[in-house]
Amino acid sequence: MDMMKPKKLPIGVQDFREIREEDYLYIDKTGLIYKLITSGKYYFLSRPRRFGKSLLVSTLKYLFQGEKELFKGLYIYDKYDFLKYPVVHISFRGEMRSPQELIKRILHLLENNQKELGVNCKNRDSCSDCFEELIKGAYEKYNQKVVILIDEYDKPIIDNIDQIEVAMENRNILRGLYSIIKDMDPYIKFVLLTGVTKFSKAGIFSGLNNLEDITLVPEFGNLLGITQAELEDYFGDVFREKGVDLEEVREWYNGYNFLGDLVYNPFDLLLFVKHKFEFDSYWFSTGTPKFLIDVIDKGNFYVPRLSGLRISKTMLDSFDIDNMLPESVLFQSGYLTIEKQIKLDFGGYEYELRLPNKEVRISLMDHIMEYYLKVHEARQRKTDLYRALANADIEKLRQEIECLLASIPYHNYTKNELSQYEGYYASVIYAYMQSLGFTMIAEDVTNRGRADLTMIMKDKIYIFEIKVDTNESPIKQIKERQYYKKYENQNKPIYLIGIKIDSKERNIVGFEWEKMN
């Protein structure tokens, strides 16, 4: 079914009415929306930025306002009664860099809702009091329960992570606002809050503990994002007509797992089509939050852990200003996703995480490398590194790694205790090589131990072992523990690379290699 040709691409268009009336492409999610609104009342949904949260909120707004004709031709059109309910719609867009700006913004949003619903608040100075009056007033005027839709509920907090005191004050203001919802239960039909992060209940939802978190509920895993089947339905014919490699599209933009089907980042796909099927990091380039790198830095995070990282459910879905875990921040921001869910014998789950796709692998590692080097030199040297690896030019590979380590500013060593250990150097080398887009496995598990880094290319494999301030031979360890054995059946040449680093010299003092097969 080719639905692409007659449709405009809704890039940046988040209003459901505009999409339907202006004949933009709309991927029909109303089957899942119908299930959502008929099976519960209070919901919370977290997804990375630009994943379609605002469009979902807009769709629900027009649905509950009874705008049936906008849904003609969609799954829900003849399934739902389209009764009209008063809708309170709050979206925290724009900058709110102080508590005063946040309060002003909330009061402005409440005033807009008053005008739209024809309800007046007597108390216009208190956000919480006005919110309560608005809900009750709308219920009384329309003799119908009220729908509350709050988009980007966390933006006033995460936009101020660089000024923690402001973030905490904004958190307290929002906690007071959201706590009103629970006490209004007799007046409420439906509630949805969306955002990027999920704060711990003590952090912001202490007064709203009846929200059902559907972020990782399998039946709603495909509510946002584009599945492989949807890609085939809406884009498949055009991609094939233009000679686009569907497997390459999958490698670049698919891979996000919210326990439903794997999904594509919708923003990436739309920009990929708009830019005539040219692969690029469209989503990543729209803005990587500075606090992400700050969290990695402050936590002395071992970057190679990004492959095969395991984390408990509690850590995964909890975000707090007071204690930001790099793993949680990376997952909730969309830079890590779930590889698999592991049921624990004593109850609950653990999750193994991974980088979602080629776009994130390349771009995030570029970003981290720029942090390590404080210059753009990392990107400039990538072509030479790629050629060295592709051509198995091991001497050139050694030179590139030496240049890389020599480029690290002196103060990075003096302020970072990890610089004395393998972990720091492994992080730098891992990020550098991962930025090429190849499959990298850190702490590659074998039956005899763990290799520091394994790189898998189409026609060859590299196994790296890194030692710091030691006389031990890293390549001897690879051979004695036979880290290469698990790859012998792939019929590819395997290159064993042993690197010795002196922390005082801050560079390579020994480089050994051997080719297997």
For the chain, the residue count is 517
Q: Is 216 helix (H, G, I), strand (E, B) or coil?
A: coil
Residue type, 283: W
Those residues whose C-beta lies under 8 Å from the C-beta of residue 156, and which sit 6 or more positions away, are 92, 96, 102, 105, 170, 173, 174
Q: Is the dihedral of CA 325, 361, 452, 488 positive or negative?
A: positive
What token pair was written down for 387? 């050629």
- Residue 496 pairs in a beta bridge with 463, 514
Alpha helices in 242-357 (DSSP H): 246-253, 266-274, 290-298, 313-316, 326-333
Residue 141 in contact with residue 117, Cβ under 8 Å? yes
First-to-last C-alpha distance (Å) of the chain? 48
Compute the distance between CA of residue 100 and CA of residue 235 in angstroms, rounded to an integer.
Answer: 46
pLDDT for the residue 201: 55
Determine how β-strand 146-151 pairs with β-strand 188-195.
parallel
Q: What DSSP line would sit under 498-509, residue for residue?
A: EEEEETTTTEEE
Reported as a single tens digit per residue, the pLDDT across 394-441 is 999 999 999 888 877 655 554 454 444 567 788 888 888 888 888 888
pLDDT for the residue 216: 93
pLDDT for the residue 161: 84
pLDDT for the residue 198: 83
Q: What are 385-389's contacts with CB under 8 Å, separation 24+? A: 385/432, 385/433, 385/436, 386/436, 389/433, 389/436, 389/438, 389/455, 389/457, 389/462
User: What is the set of domains in the chain, with CATH numbers?
Assistant: 16-197+210-220 (3.40.50), 226-285 (no CATH), 373-516 (3.40.1350)
| Residue 165, burial from CB neighbour count under 10 angstroms (0-12, 13-18, 19+) | exposed
Report residues of the chain scoring pLDDT below 50.
Answer: 1-5, 414-415, 417-420
Determine how β-strand 449-456 pairs with β-strand 349-354.
unpaired
Residue that the structure tokens 């952090």 belong to: 203
Backbone angles phi, psi at 188, to 5 degrees: -110, 135
Reported as a single tens digit per residue, the pLDDT across 253-300 is 999 999 999 999 999 999 999 999 999 999 998 876 666 777 666 656
Q: Closest Cα partner for 475 from 505, 495, 449, 502?
A: 495
pLDDT for the residue 169: 95
Reported as a single tens digit per residue, the pLDDT across 64-78 is 999 999 999 999 999
pLDDT for the residue 105: 96
Residue type, 315: M
Backbone angles phi, psi at 71, to 5 degrees: -105, 10
Residue 79 in contact with residue 253, Cβ under 8 Å? no
Q: Closest Cα partner for 329 from 364, 279, 372, 283?
A: 364
